[in-house]
Amino acid sequence: MLDYHLHLWPHDRRETPLHLDQLALYCEKAEAAGVQELAVTEHLFRFRQAKSLLGGFWDDDKIPPALAVSMAEYWDFHATADLDEYVACALEAKEAGLPIVIGLEVDYYPGRMDDVARLVAPYPFDVLLGSVHWLGAWRFDDIDVPLQMDEWSTREVDDCWEAYTRALEELAASGACDVLAHPDLIKVAGHVPDAPVEWWDRMAEAAASSGMAAELSSAGWRKPVGEQYPALPLLERFVARGVPLTTASDAHRQEQVADRAAGLRKILDAAGVESLQGYRNRVPHTVALGSPLQPESEGA
């Protein structure tokens, strides 16, 4: 098993210290859960280099002023780390023999993915996750912020899923990333269309046609939707289309590392999946699943 989606800082933390000891503890927690390799994938927007290049992207959209102010404040709060220091810390972990690969979680920036590609190109990344966390300046998955959640009452659920899927398709077509992270994240707050089949089909087609892998993540079990990403019908579509898979916890703190890895393994076994896809220098390779994990390896 893999845990190919890990963060170093919770979203409510502005300070961004980097310590090799933290990565060592992550690896220790993962090993205890039967997970053999971790990808450190901090959000690109948490780095000052991204803010100088991409900050203000939401100004390209006609949005309610309150959402624009909220997004500007969000970026000001989060964009405090240095990308060079982050990569150096991950390289140090690899050189120390820790089972770490170096990555980033890259959000979709309409019309600016070429800028993203130029920014990350000089760095020795192993894997880049592609995500859609916002539509314009609406952070639809920011479940702890009433301003963001109130937007759900002003929009049609089908329209939200359409906008999200269109962004996911454009992200995949850009070729900028390797893995679709939490592919159906739009469901995070529990808003699911009565007939989501069209969007599931398009998400699966986006991954298959772009050559991207898709992520099976336990993070949804910690959210209001209460299920893994992706939903089982979408996972079945990925498998049927031959889309490779990674597994992930989307941890933001040590206790979440490898969260419910055994539960993810059961889903993979039920879907007939026998291998995952790992990465080195953004080149994919096959990782055999091996023996089933024991139930006691599941996180809380």
**Cα maximum dimension of the chain:** 53
Q: Is 22 helix (H, G, I), strand (E, B) or coil?
A: helix
DSSP E strand stretches across 108-244: 127-131, 179-180, 213-217
pLDDT the model gives residue 263: 97
pLDDT the model gives residue 59: 83
Look at residue 299 and tell me whether its pLDDT is greater than 90.
no
Compute the average pLDDT of residues 96-110.
97
Per cent of the chain over pLDDT 90 is 90
**Per-residue pLDDT tens digits for 21-46:** 999 999 999 999 999 999 999 999 99
Please provide the size of the chain in residues.
300
Instruction: Give yes or no for a contact between 243 and 212, defined as CB atoms under 8 angstroms apart.
Output: yes
Q: What share of the chain is helix, strand, coil (3-state, %, to 5)?
A: 45, 20, 35
pLDDT the model gives residue 62: 77
Please give the residue range of the domain that contains residue 230.
2-297
Alpha-helix residue ranges (DSSP H) falling in 36-191: 48-54, 65-78, 83-95, 113-120, 146-150, 157-174
pTM for the whole thing? 0.95
Picking from 236, 243, 247, 249, the residue whose alpha carbon sits closest to that of residue 200 is 236
Give the Cα separation of 261 and 268 in Å (integer): 11
**Nearby residues of 285 by Cβ (< 8 Å), 6 or more positions away:** 277, 278, 279
**Per-residue pLDDT tens digits for 202-245:** 999 999 999 999 999 999 999 999 999 999 999 999 999 999 99
pLDDT the model gives residue 146: 97
**Per-residue pLDDT tens digits for 185-194:** 999 999 999 9
Q: What is the mean pLDDT of the chain?
A: 94
**Per-residue pLDDT tens digits for 257-298:** 999 999 999 999 999 999 999 999 999 999 999 766 655 444
Q: At what angle do helices 83-95 and 20-32 cross, to 10 degrees?
A: 50
Token pair belonging to 150: 């109130």
Look at residue 82 and tell me whether its pLDDT is greater than 80.
yes
Token pair belonging to 103: 């990555």
User: What CATH number does the domain containing 40 carry?
Assistant: 3.20.20.140
Q: Regarding predicted confidence, which is higher, 63 or 19?
A: 19
**Nearby residues of 154 by Cβ (< 8 Å), 6 or more positions away:** none
Domain count, the chain: 1
CB atoms near residue 256 (< 10 Å): 22
Instruction: Give the model's confidence band at 16: pLDDT under 50 very low, under 70 low, under 90 confident, else very high.
Output: confident
C-alpha distance from residue 170 to each of 56, 180, 224, 265 (Å): 20, 12, 27, 30
C-alpha distance from residue 140 to each of 54, 72, 143, 207 (Å): 19, 15, 8, 22
